Structures are given as structure tokens and as C-alpha cells.
Structure 1
Amino acid sequence: MVQVPLIQLNNGITMPVIGLGTWRAPPGEVYKAVQDAIDSGFRHFDCAMLYGNEDEIGQALHDKLKQGTIKREDLFIVSKVWCNSMRPDLVEPTLKKTLKSLRLDYLDQYLTHWPMGFQESDSFYPLGEDGKLQHSDVDYVDSWKAMEEVYRKGLTRSIGISNYNPAQVQRLMKTVSIKPVVNQIEVHPYLIPQDWLDVCKTHDIVVVAYSPLGSNDRPWATKDDPRVLEDPVIMAIAKKHKKTTAQVTLRFLVQLGLVPIPKSSNPKRIKENLEIFDFELTSEEMSEIRALHRNIRYHKHVEALGHRHYPF
């Protein structure tokens, strides 16, 4: 079993430098994926209420804990408050719903999923009579105050943000009492947003890279979209190291100081995604992969175009 290195966050706690993503991990598969991941050495699990699978993830964690395979303190469990619950008075009850689903007493990290608020509703995407997404006037700065409160109450060991652009990070940092420990954003060889990375580094915020392998299973993918894992440069480097293109890509992100969270339900790939700590990319190879940046963003969240806090 692979021993995953840890990175220290700005509040003093540590987080594994790679995690298992659970977006689009379907019911019926995610239970086994989480258990396979634990057996392979994963301890960091990235969840969200939006993904609709926290109950099954919670059962998988519960069963592993009951077996004595792992202890709760060995795990690093992340979840996120969705846009329809950004109003300050909804943050804590929403977190408590997630804790109930995950069958946990506390989270290791809780994030605001986006800086945008949607109309408070039971629907994740509340639509008006005109069929358009209904926005809320809630300000992410006010939402953050509620995040600080759930942290103070011990409901989560750390708090962070996701999809906040540099200006939003700077604005938030002028108001916080407790700093976000991470900003979870899309990063892969075709999207290395240096200005986003730089502002986080300035404020000692760790960048967690979602869709680190290019998110080939996203529903809106087309056959003409460039695919990170089929890039000739990455393929050549992988051949040299006798590694997969996924392993080279994840290693690249870890060497950048980021925390990738690849998603997989395939036991072989889950295991392979952890086998990235027995080789190192040279500075030349790092530069070659950096040069692949094309500013290709696969997750634009176009449903929210026009929102005053839309980050892109």
C-alpha cells in the first residue's frame, strides 16, 4: 500500500497531497471505489452534496472504520456547500446534513463550492418561470463568515473555497478572520492559470486541482476536444519513465505544489493514480508540460453566466 505524503495547511493541520475525486461516481459504483481506494492507500476523499452520492460514500467509510482497517483520524474528508445554500443561515444546517449522510461527527475540510449564490431552494439549480437559473443576492463574503462559525464550532477542521478567481480571493482576504486553507480550481496541463496560482501562494492558500486529468467523462465532452492523456509530449515522457500518462500528469501537478484529486471507479487506475511517488520529473520535463498550457477550461459552469460573481 502506498504511503501518501502530507502537505501542511495554513491552520497547522496536514492534508494528503493527492485525493480521490467523487464527482460523477455513480451510485452502485462509488461504494466499491472508496473501499478500493482505501485499500490502495488513499486517505483523502473529495465529496460534495451536489454529487448526490454522499450517503453511499458514508456507508463505505463507515464499513471500513467498523472493520478496523483505518481510524477516523487517518482520513481526510472534504465536502462543499452548494450555491443554493450560500445564505449564511443555511451553511451550518447544510453542513450537518452532509455529516449525517457521510456518517461522520466532523469534516476535515468544508468548502464553498462556488462564489455564486443561487436562489435558496430544494433544487440545486432553481429555475424561474422563464426557465432561467435564479440567482441569489447573497455575497460570498457574508457566506464566509458562516464558514468561520462552523469551523469555530468544530464541525470541520478546516475551511476553504473553490472556483474563486484572483480578484475574488483578494477581496475575500481583506475581510476574513480565518483564512481559507485551499482554493479548489481546475488545473491540468492544458490549463495552468498562473495568476490564480500566484494569488493563492501569496496568501498561503494551497491549490487543490480538480479534473487534473482533463475530465474526459464530462457529459459535454466532444470527440474533437483535445485530450490531456493523449498528448504526444506527455506520452513521450510517460514512455521514458515507464509510467502511464495519468501518472505523469499527476506527478507534474504534485511537483508544482498542487494537490490533485483524480476521479476513478476502476480499481487498477485507482491504484495506479497513487503510484506517483517513486519517480521524479526533470526540470526539462516540467517545462515541456508547462508549455502545453492552452487556457482550455473544461468546466465553465455556463448555466451561471451573467451572475455578478461568475468567476470566469
Structure 2
Amino acid sequence: MIAKAAKREMYYNRAMSPELVERISKGFLWLIDAVIQNSELDFQTGSNASDSWFSVYRGTGRLLTIKENGRLFADPKYITLLPSFYEKPSKAGLDALIKMIRENKELGRYYIDADGKKKEGYYQNLVSRRYSLLCEPDDDFIIIDKEFVLGYSNDRIKARITQPVIEKYDRIMHSLSLRYNYFTHIRQSGTECDLVGLTRQGDILLLELKRHEDTTKIFLSPLQAGKYDDLTKEYVKRYYDDFNTNVVEMVKQKVDLGILKPQCEIPTKITGNIIPAVVVGGQPSKTAKERFEIVRKAVGKEIPLYTCDEKGQINKLL
């Protein structure tokens, strides 16, 4: 059994409860098929001390969440587009909802905006599907989760654990600002890691996604990736057994439901090794690459930089 979050200072739980798995497998297989068939959509699952959920995303926008009790939830901005879908979900209703979302300028910021610019969510979706639903035999890893964030038992404990890490990266940023004027007035950002991968060997990948146009975000990303790396390693050091059990169970559930389709043998145990990396959608500028290397060196971690093509295939750049 995976330990309840309340019994741990830190926790991560993306495996669903048996009750929710049964509910999805009996009543929502049509939804799984619909999401698999639509290249704009993706899945997320999870649990906490009191509930369990199954969610559908378009980019970074969460369109629908099914809770353990069978109730459906979504942000009001989606519900108001088509209330009837959330009252009685169906394939036809989902298709109609997606059409409305595409035509809504405000919601474009989660996927492709009104000017046709592809957002981080677009690339997140692209890479996630490529390495979860469209896996190939030669792949070195699979994507097992998105919007990764560690939980803490309360705010006091969260501050005690995270503040030293935040201060560490503040010091690095301050040091960089003394040498490079483009670091002036820059603050740390990011509370969730975009994607989590699992390698053939059982290592955990923490992937941060950026758009090729966002030069500043690209060269700052080693700070973000380093912070996620430090906090995740702290969690693994404390609660490796919980982490291993949860990852193994989550992967099994996703494979059984057909929302993860690996073409290689899946490790039955994680190693505990954490590998942070950055993926850029498209080709970053020369400036972005040069400054990325400066920041990566200051962080002092091996944080590879990848690019991804329009099929979601990633290739190492630095």
C-alpha cells in the first residue's frame, strides 16, 4: 500500500484508487479512445489523502476531471462553453467542446494562441503523446506523468524543506547578476515540472518544456530544473519505497487502461536516480544556447538541452 500523504512530510501520488480505476474502465473507455484519437489531448491521473482523479488536458488546460465518486469537475471557463457536456459527457459532446475551445481566443494561451503561436502546452502535449501513446521500440524512455509537483503535509513543513533550496538558487542568480546585466531583476519561477519520464534502466527524468521563442526562459531553465532535481532527490532520500511503489502502480494502471503504450520492457523498480533536462520546442537561438550553458555551469549540474520536432521526437542539442 502507498502511504497516506498525511503520514509523510513530503508526498507524491499519481496512482488512482482501485475504485476510480474500476469506474473509468467500466464507464469511460469511450473517453480514453476519444483522447487517444485526438492529437490535441492527453491524460493525467492522481490521488491525495482524500480523493483520486482522472483528468483530460489540452496543452496545459485541464478540460475535465473525473473524481472517485464519479462526479465531473472542470474550470468554469470550460463548463460555460458547453454545460450539457459536463452534465452528460459523450464523444459527440467532447468533439463539440474541442471545436469551441479552438475558437476561443482566451483559451488559446494553453495550446495555440489567436496569432497561431504554439505555447508551452502545445509542446508538452506533443512530447507527452509521442512517448506515452506513440512509443517506438528504440525509445530510451517513456513519459509517465505531467505537471509533476511534490506535496507537503503543511505549509510550515513545505517552507522548512523548500526554503533552503530556493535560497540556494537565489544566491546563484545573484552571483550571475553581478557578472551579466541580463540577469538583473530576474526572479525564480516555476512550481511544477512539465513532464516525468521513466528510462529503461529505471531512472526518473524531470523534463522542463520551453518554446524556442522564449530566450530568457530557456537560459534560466537550468535554475528551474536544478530546483526540481534537488527537491525530488530530497523526497527520494526520505521516501524511496513510497515513490517506487507509486510509480510502479501508476505505470501499471496506465498500461492496463491503454493510456500508456510502451514498446519496450518496463522496469519493475526505479533506481532512485533523478535526471533533470530541458526540452525546447523548435530550435533555440544562438543567444539562448550560449546563456543556457553559462547558467548550467553556474548551477553545477549535468542538465542536457534537447529540442523536439513536430512529431514530439526529442534530440540532444547540448
Same fold (TM over 0.5): no
Higher strand share: 2
Higher helix share: 2
TM-score, structure 1 length as denominator? 0.29
Q: Which has the larger radius of gyration?
A: 2
